[in-house]
Amino acid sequence: MMTKIYPRTGDKQTVYLNAVVKDPQIAIGDYTIYNDFIADPLLFEKNNVLYHYPIHREKLVIGKYCSIACGAKFLFNCANHTLKSISTYTFPVFYEEWELKKTDVTTAWDYKGDIIIGNDVWIGYEAIIMAGVRIGDGAIIAARAVVTKDIPSYTIVGGTPAKEIRKRFDMDVIAKLLILRWWDWPIDKIHRNLPSIMEGSLNELFFYEE
């Protein structure tokens, strides 16, 4: 786990998230960064992980080497007023007012599950990720997209609701990248292969040997 907070000297807008987040229900991979030029990025849990109440113990899992832009939000299940009732009003939340059982408070919303983000994912400015969504490795979420459904690996999506724009690579290359899993390599191996990673020299990466 990272202990260093700021990746760049003098830059207090960008942080390594897993050095900042304290909630045990939020798991962040190494080198994943968050940039915020409006609010304090140290307040990521408060400002960006919303409706994440302890009652469900739901998880936010974000992989390694992800890039999260300013204002991206993760909306959890307590934001989902139930559609099973005639009314969308959250009567169970106000159990005292309506003389309901406190234990029934979770019936006020529909539960859709955890939010799981893969590795090397880029989440754009003010994008919104909804509860229950899974985003695959290498995906790109465009600015202000609203992600309501799972996103396959190495897929670019945008819009409201987010829809596929295109794949980043052809399916054969994607399959090889998912086997390669460069983000799991030791740091020294990543260092040695940075030119190939940064320049997109896929053949060199695929045929690299220790």
Residue 43 in this model has a pLDDT that exceeds 90: yes
- CATH number for the domain spanning 132: value is 2.160.10.10
Task: Answer yes or no: is 116 within a domain.
Answer: yes
State whether 34 and 136 are in the same domain: yes
Q: Which two tokens stand for residue 106?
A: 């979770």
Average pLDDT, the chain: 94
Local confidence band at 205 (pLDDT 50, 70, 90 cut-offs):
confident
Residue 210 in this model has a pLDDT that exceeds 60: no
Task: Answer yes or no: is 204 within a domain.
Answer: yes
Q: Average pLDDT, stretch 4-15?
A: 97
Geometric angle at alpha carbon 136, from 134 and 142, rounded to 5°: 90
Residue 187 in this model has a pLDDT that exceeds 80: yes
Task: Answer yes or no: is 132 within a domain.
Answer: yes
Q: Count of domains in the chain?
A: 2
Residue 8 in this model has a pLDDT that exceeds 90: yes
The DSSP call for residue 167 is: E
Q: Which residues are catalytic?
A: 81
Note down the domain range covering 121.
14-82+111-168
Cα 140 to Cα 163: distance, rounded to the nearest angstrom: 11
State whether 162 and 182 are in the same domain: no
Task: Answer yes or no: is 135 within a domain.
Answer: yes
In the three-class reduction of DSSP (H, G, I as helix; E, B as strand; rest coil), residue 98 is classed as helix
